[in-house]
Structure 1
Amino acid sequence: MFSRPGLMMSGLVALLTASACPASDPPAASIQKPAVVSGESGYAAMVSRGYTPLFNGTDLTGWRNPYPYGEAKVVDGEIHLLADKKFFLVTEKKYSDFRVSVEIHLPEGPANSGVMFRAHVDEDAAKKVYGYQAECDGSDRRWSGGLYDEARRGWIWPSTKGRSKDQFLAHAEESQQFFATPRVRDALNRNGWNRYEITCVDDVIRIEVNGVETVRFRDATDASGYIGIQHHGEKGQTYRFRNLFIKELPEIPAQQHVALTEQQPLSIKRISETVTQIDFGTVAFGNIAMPVPSGRGTANVHFGEKLKDGRIDQTPPGTVRYGMTPIRLGQQLGTWVVPAPVDPRNVQQSGLIYANPPAVLTPPQWQPVMPFRWVEIEGVGPDYPFDLVRRRAAYSATWNDDASAFECSNETLNRIWDLCKYSIKATTFAGVYVDGDRERIPYEADAYLNQLSHYTTDDDVKMAARTFDWLMENGTWPSEWAPHMVFMAHAEWMHNGDTEWLKQRYESLKAKTLIHRSGEDGLVRSDEADQNRHDIVDWPKQERDGFVFTEINTVVNAFHIKAMEQMAEMANAIGNEADADAFESRIKLARASFQDKLFDQDAGIYRDGIETDHSSVHANFFPLAFGLVPDEKRDGVLSWLKQKKMQCSVYAAQYFMDALFSADASQKALDLILADGDRSWKHMADSGTTITWEAWEMKYKPNQDWNHAWGAAPANLLPRHVLGAQPRTPGWTTATIRPCPADIESARGKVPTPRGPIKIDWTNGEAFNLSLSLPDGMSAVVELPAPDGSTGVFADGTAVAATKRGDRWHVDGEVTGSVRFEVK
């Protein structure tokens, strides 16, 4: 009936308490507290995120009043409740697992309302409606978002003597302290609209008020029931409700967006009298279909990602996958679909770990899938038609192998490209970006890196927006993962130029900037819980280059400032000039403090944080990648970084490489990508793996999986930097073409965009030659390498105006169509 709240809530209490204490209000409250989007945009935003209206905006179809009193009417697309006694308007339909969203506007004066969920109706009782309620508290107590058990057990979270059962009083002090923290206490907009979002999955209940999580609790009393809205009974008061939506769970994105492809064996080998091994050539997520073997009894099908001594490794390290499924032998004609074994974590919807979101499920009609390259069929005779066995591999239904291409004079880079491109394809199996096969959940940082590489390898990338919406409802716990949501939204807007999509989601992003943890100097603070758990810097922990965690953390603040810069840009794009100005003011303050407090003037590099003299590579390449290093400090930071090796994980390497390429240190970036040893993509490619790993090697992360798209960064680094194509304006109306050849002699390829592919072909010698073909509707700003002694730029044989800045020629103006450039 009840699980201890400490398992679900204590970490949240610590986080929100600490978040609020050191911070002061930003210059404009609007950039800290999301506003509720009203009107058609608010309605369209919910529908676009997969919600179903509970209220049609014109009448009360689907709702009923079980009381003999109380009035409910529709006024201008809102439900208005009037009464002089408490009553609830409830849905006619019951719901089990769901995410429900309701907007509430309390009347002035004494007022109290709420949203009932999984509620019950007893027509014969005096208190006809009872069950769970998300509290909307208009009093000075400010317990809005609390979990109340109407007409039954009273207050659950928070709890209080005289209003709660004894079982809940054990956490009375903790829960009341939690609701006293400013972020939770002030979540309700007392005189405006408030969005309540309640998620129920199995026995886990989660309540959010205006984007602030107020409850995450386990209680198994009710598994289904009605949705309801409340009038508290104050005579003459009108309670208003609008935008009532529900999304029934679980969502299964792959149902509409992923297809199974039947694949033939690459090779078949008889291992022994009883075992035949089939190799499909690459790892893919799937299962197999095979003709029904004749005979009696059972046979076994072994699935594996890894070989050992020529056989499938049945005890692989970490979360490298192996599984076995028994099959029945028989005389019937037809085909068995042999499901892969089920890993419980891959289907878990309400785990025991705090803040672990639901696993992304695959369609039940597929039967279970897992990543594997080899199968071994044990117990079937040699005359069986093994060549008819098929792997049913799951990929995005719209994946286009021909959408992108990369080829250069360095064969190892070509192999790395092939590995990384296929890694992106193979990990589309769930319909949203997941972290591999250990948990099958999206994580914000993983998803952003996956998104960047999906854009550069495929020409239908709606999966990025789907994953963004999924993560906004199922976020994870690390500090820097929240700003990655801003990065994801900005990247999607830059790629597609869809300002309406951005407008519908802009307000919800404010909670992701970490501004609620910032102080008067504009910098984010990290309390003990943040320093010990939430602040990531890099993952796994031993990849942090000795990073020293302090109250003001250089990496966390670099993410914070970059997120605010992108928010300011997006605020301008949707016409919210007030927010843009407020963000710019905050950015200016934070940037000045960042340089003053975190830069080591004597060493010429950034420290990990205040009160430490230690400088990790992370404290320097993140600011460089985010454009936070002033011009006068850039050479020193870059010179220091160029002396370093790959002293970070495959995740952080995305940003390390971005920093180097952007700072015209492309040779250093390529040297690291191609380095000997076990900390490079060369090592991954040489290992024989067909999907990138979660870490450089097992010894760096013993529980790693071998099917992790965040390890596929070269899938975007090579097109964006070596070929040199990036969006300059939203929707690729203008591109930047900026090749970074280093010592590569030639490169060519195709970069997909929503307007069509960009085709690039360059050679690098005494002169630099570039053939560029842009799709219709796109122009480009071109920056070309300046070989030693070069004097100018020619376009289609004619000299053109260009300005030399450092090691590059910047061609004046913009180009369109197909152009051949020569620097000589």
Structure 2
Amino acid sequence: MKPRFTLLILSVLAAFQTAHSQDASNASISKPVSSQSGIDEFDAMLSRGYTPLFNGKDLTGWRNPYPHGEAKVVDGEIHLIGDKKFFLVTEKKYSDFRVSVEIHLPEGPANSGVMFRCHIDPDAEKKVYGYQAECDGSDRRWSGGLYDEARRGWIWPSTEGRSTDQFLEHAEESQRFFAEPHVRNALNRNGWNRFVITCVKDVIRIELNGVETVRFRDAKDASGFIGIQHHGEKGQTYRFRNLFIKELPVIPAEQHVDLTEQEPVSIKRINDKVTLIDFGKAAFGNIAMPVPAGRGSASVHFGEKLADGRIDRNPPGTVRYGVTPIRISGQQGTWIVPAPVDARNVEQAGLMNANPPAVLTPPAWRSVMPFRWVEIEGVAADYPFERVRRRAAYSATWNDDASAFECSDETLNRIWDLCKYSIKATTFAGVYVDGDRERIPYEADAYLNQLSHYTTDDNVKMAARTFDHLMENGTWPTEWSPHMVFMAHAEWMYSGDNEWLKHRYESLKTKTLLHRSGDDGLVRSDELDRNRHDIVDWPQKERDGFVFTEINTVVNAFHIKALQQMATMARAIGKQEDAEAFESRAELARAAFQEKLFDEDAGLYRDGVGTDHSSIHANFFPLAFGLVPEDKLDGVIAWLEKQGMRCSVYAAQYFMEALFNHGSDKKAVALMTADGDRSWKHMVESGTTISWEAWEMKYKPNQDWNHAWGAAPANLLPRYVLGVQPAAPGWKTVIIQPRPAELEFARGKVPTSRGPIEVDWQNESTFTLSLSLPEGMTAKLDLPAADGTSGVMVDGKQAVAKRTGDRWVLQEEVSGAIKIEVR
């Protein structure tokens, strides 16, 4: 028998080793890891639209303004060697940009950084001066800080004796920020580190290995050189690789969006001065019109809303109206009349520091806005109004014939038409934006837009383009970050492109919220998170009384789902150890989620630890994400089936998925088509032609009328009512699982990366299905099993099928064009 103290030591050692192993694995999956060669990172930057600053062969485009210091190229890297501080700088100046540089510090005392918008004084001892992103190899650990070399010293963080007075005002705050573990530990002291610096007007952002360390406003310099530093330690070699730049702004619509000229649907002379033109549906654009004869002044009014037969010139909330004055001066030809400019839609660095720059439209277009009607005021009645054209902006590759949906419920058909057109109309910027609010992508908005774009169009490269944009221009809400994992997973499932995924996988590690999780795997929310960052739903009044606590059920549901998807994607690209670490962490969090957040007495999830309140959100998000244990499902589903649409149009995507995925299709369809003002039926009956940001003005008085996150049925109806979803990446295998609710029939066409799938089912005395699959695709069939049915026939032959509850599941996959009957 071993002595008790030996057993104690061994058990403590085992516990330490387990904890140490878990900490190590958590570190590997919480932030990007650079490869030894850097080749993967180089290819990834090229695939994301960056331009190399260094060609990997020689120092073309760079110079050393000092008489000392050596720079040479070694195995595709720049090595700096010297015994005095010096900088290697670009020959070209840059203004607004995103620059990315990888740095490897030498062992021992070391300090480096990336100079940006910097300057050169050839006559000064300190020849290079200006902004620097700090790479700090000391125990101070201020890597990622903003330093003003040879000028004002430390900006963020700041410190007595090393900063000017203006920056000492935030010395305590900034030093406390750099003491936070995820910032303090952002630098990989003995490996490669990626610095990303973004400059837009006076806004400066610095990221180190995916951790934002600086977001600061300073107008000292608007342009300058890019540089890299040797700090002057004798015998030390500083290594740099993968130096890239993307000059800003990037305007996606220049390459990916076309202007389509559209004729009026109706023209009405209102009085002796005003003519109203209706283009039938709202779209983002402006107008082209023949130049009126004579001289004088006129005006063009643009509007989304009518009031008493006229364009509403004082519409509610942020419903759009604007006027453009025009001067008639005897010109000939055709005028392009730009829409009025809303400053926030072109803002690149506004007073609000939270939002990324607006996505601009091409200057050659002239400005655009969403409108359905124009009133031309001040031209004579004999003017050729029929020759006025709206120049509407849509994706250049949009295909109206790519998708179709029709069923026995005419209201659902109208909802489909509204939502499909909403997706088309909001492609005007070349990436998914929040309609006309700030014209920026938001992660949750973009994901919902992405799902619906996949089911309505057959060229959906905009999804991957938006993903890349958001990885560089993220927004502030907590749950929006895991949506980036959802976007990547959805794109990978659609395209099956492992190379695309491989080039983006490491950066995705920063989006899972792992840095906010504790030993039990659950994410914590501090006071700022609870008061601002944690969203649950938007607007705030749509949260069903959700009680915010330190451990938030909705936030953690997103966290766990993101970890699970990261594990799947890691395994797909050969990152087996990462996959196992993600899975382990997800299981740890899931166990704690169930233990701490489920109310056994109520049979429901609480909003969080420390409250007994159970909102609808705290239950449908876990249900939608598959986190509810089998033995708890019935209770959660039964409770949700009794609830109304007590959530926003955003969260309704997940509420509907939760219901459809768990056999509650009748409830889901009933909610979509419900009477009252909280349904898509209400949107349709309002007369809108693009989906709204909220159910009604009273729920969000400043809502937009051109918001694609309100178009969820565009993906819900094909995915669930028709029942078409991918079962393997790239649509190699699909699952056909119709959820008929109480519909008599449904038919349609669903685009995929391999070609369209056509579905036509009848739900009468028997359930019959005609299915046409593209070549090279197989399908798993999961069909409704009505009472009294005994099996499934495929092309008139008995198929091997297993009944599970109210479904028949075929044992063998099918392909081609087939007809199925459930008898």
In 2, distance between residues paired with 1:449 and 1:152? Answer: 47
Runs of 4+ in 1 over 6 A off after TM superposition: none
- The aligned counterpart of 1:30 is 28
In 1, distance between residues paired with 2:682 and 2:663? Answer: 25
In 2, distance between residues paired with 1:529 and 1:161? Answer: 28
User: Match of 2:579, as an amino acid?
Assistant: A
- The aligned counterpart of 1:698 is 697
Q: Is the 8 A contact 1:36 1:210 kept in 2?
A: no
Which secondary structure state, in structure 1, belongs to the residue aligned with residue 319 of structure 2?
coil
Aligned runs of 1:790-809 on 2, under 5 Å?
A: 790-809=789-808
Deviations 1:313-357 (A, max 9, x none): 001111110000011113222000000000000000011223210
- The aligned counterpart of 2:11 is none
- The aligned counterpart of 2:718 is 719
Aligned runs of 1:482-631 on 2, under 5 Å?
A: 482-631=481-630
Q: Is the 8 A contact 2:445 2:708 kept in 1?
A: yes
How far 1:25 moved relative to its partner?
4.2
- The aligned counterpart of 2:186 is 187
User: Match of 1:486, as an amino acid?
Assistant: V
- The aligned counterpart of 1:115 is 114
- The aligned counterpart of 1:9 is none
Are 2:435 and 1:436 aligned?
yes
Deviations 1:374-430 (A, max 9, x none): 000000000000000000000000000000000011111000000000000000000
In 2, distance between residues paired with 1:483 and 1:354? Answer: 22
- The aligned counterpart of 1:178 is 177
Aligned runs of 1:223-372 on 2, under 5 Å?
A: 223-372=222-371
Are 2:139 and 1:106 aligned?
no
Deviations 1:453-474 (A, max 9, x none): 0000000000000100000000
Which secondary structure state, in structure 2, belongs to the residue aligned with residue 176 of structure 1?
helix
In 1, distance between residues paired with 2:610 and 2:437? Answer: 38
Are 2:741 and 1:742 aligned?
yes
Q: Is the 8 A contact 1:264 1:388 kept in 2?
A: yes
User: Match of 1:638, as an amino acid?
Assistant: I
User: Match of 1:382, as an amino acid?
Assistant: A
- The aligned counterpart of 1:388 is 387
TM-score by length of 2: 0.97
Deviations 1:748-778 (A, max 9, x none): 0000001000000000011000000000111
User: Match of 2:798, as an amino acid?
Assistant: A
Are 2:141 and 1:137 aligned?
no
- The aligned counterpart of 2:397 is 398
> CA 1:764–1:26 in 2, change beyond 3 Å: closer, same or farther?
farther
User: Match of 2:29, as an amino acid?
Assistant: I
Deviations 1:58-85 (A, max 9, x none): 0000000111111000000000000000
- The aligned counterpart of 2:414 is 415
User: Match of 1:338, as an amino acid?
Assistant: V
Q: Is the 8 A contact 1:112 1:138 kept in 2?
A: yes
Q: Is the 8 A contact 2:25 2:578 kept in 1?
A: no
Deviations 1:670-724 (A, max 9, x none): 0000000000000001111000000000000000000000000000000000000
User: Match of 2:780, as an amino acid?
Assistant: V
- The aligned counterpart of 1:218 is 217
In 2, distance between residues paired with 1:246 and 1:705? Answer: 35
In 1, distance between residues paired with 2:602 and 2:404? Answer: 43
In 2, distance between residues paired with 1:752 and 1:407? Answer: 15
Which secondary structure state, in structure 1, belongs to the residue aligned with residue 647 of structure 2?
coil
Which secondary structure state, in structure 1, belongs to the residue aligned with residue 351 of structure 2?
coil
User: Match of 2:791, as an amino acid?
Assistant: G
Which secondary structure state, in structure 2, belongs to the residue aligned with residue 260 of structure 1?
strand
How far 1:40 moved relative to its partner?
2.7
- The aligned counterpart of 2:126 is 127
How far 1:272 moved relative to its partner?
0.4
Which secondary structure state, in structure 2, belongs to the residue aligned with residue 143 of structure 1?
coil
- The aligned counterpart of 2:681 is 682
How far 1:28 moved relative to its partner?
3.1
- The aligned counterpart of 1:20 is none
User: Match of 1:631, as an amino acid?
Assistant: E
- The aligned counterpart of 2:19 is none
In 2, distance between residues paired with 1:681 and 1:52? Answer: 45
User: Match of 1:376, as an amino acid?
Assistant: E
Q: Is the 8 A contact 1:27 1:586 kept in 2?
A: no
RMSD after superposition: 0.8
How far 1:368 moved relative to its partner?
0.1
User: Match of 2:750, as an amino acid?
Assistant: V
Deviations 1:99-145 (A, max 9, x none): 00000000000100000000001111111100000000000110001
- The aligned counterpart of 2:5 is none
- The aligned counterpart of 1:19 is none
- The aligned counterpart of 1:15 is none
Deviations 1:722-766 (A, max 9, x none): 000000000000000000001100010000001000000000011
In 1, distance between residues paired with 2:613 and 2:157? Answer: 42
Identity %: 78
User: Match of 1:346, as an amino acid?
Assistant: N
User: Match of 1:730, as an amino acid?
Assistant: P
How many equivalent residue pairs?
801
Q: Is the 8 A contact 1:26 1:586 kept in 2?
A: no
Which secondary structure state, in structure 2, belongs to the residue aligned with residue 297 of structure 1?
strand
How far 1:26 moved relative to its partner?
7.0
Which secondary structure state, in structure 1, belongs to the residue aligned with residue 372 of structure 2?
strand
Deviations 1:568-595 (A, max 9, x none): 0000001001101111111111111011
- The aligned counterpart of 1:65 is 64
Deviations 1:481-501 (A, max 9, x none): 000000000000000000000
Are 2:205 and 1:203 aligned?
no
In 2, distance between residues paired with 1:394 and 1:193? Answer: 43
Which secondary structure state, in structure 2, belongs to the residue aligned with residue 329 of structure 1?
strand
How far 1:811 moved relative to its partner?
0.6
Q: Is the 8 A contact 2:153 2:163 kept in 1?
A: yes
Q: Is the 8 A contact 2:118 2:128 kept in 1?
A: yes
Q: Is the 8 A contact 1:292 1:330 kept in 2?
A: no
Q: Is the 8 A contact 1:423 1:690 kept in 2?
A: yes
Which secondary structure state, in structure 1, belongs to the residue aligned with residue 329 of structure 2?
coil
- The aligned counterpart of 1:667 is 666
In 2, distance between residues paired with 1:197 and 1:298? Answer: 51
Q: Is the 8 A contact 2:38 2:241 kept in 1?
A: no
Which secondary structure state, in structure 2, belongs to the residue aligned with residue 28 of structure 1?
helix
Please, which runs of 5 or more residues in structure 2 have no aligned partner? 1-21
TM-score by length of 1: 0.97
Deviations 1:285-305 (A, max 9, x none): 000000001121210000000
Q: Which has the higher contact order (CA 8 A, sep 6+)?
A: 1
How far 1:27 moved relative to its partner?
4.4
Please, which runs of 5 or more residues in structure 1 have no aligned partner? 1-23
Q: Is the 8 A contact 1:26 1:32 kept in 2?
A: no
Q: Is the 8 A contact 2:645 2:679 kept in 1?
A: yes
Q: Is the 8 A contact 2:436 2:704 kept in 1?
A: yes
Which secondary structure state, in structure 2, belongs to the residue aligned with residue 519 of structure 1?
coil
In 1, distance between residues paired with 2:607 and 2:111? Answer: 47
Aligned runs of 1:770-781 on 2, under 5 Å?
A: 770-781=769-780
- The aligned counterpart of 1:51 is 50
User: Match of 2:695, as an amino acid?
Assistant: W
User: Match of 2:249, as an amino acid?
Assistant: P
- The aligned counterpart of 1:163 is 162
Which secondary structure state, in structure 1, belongs to the residue aligned with residue 102 of structure 2?
strand
Deviations 1:226-282 (A, max 9, x none): 000000001100000000000000010001000000000000000000000000000
How far 1:41 moved relative to its partner?
2.0
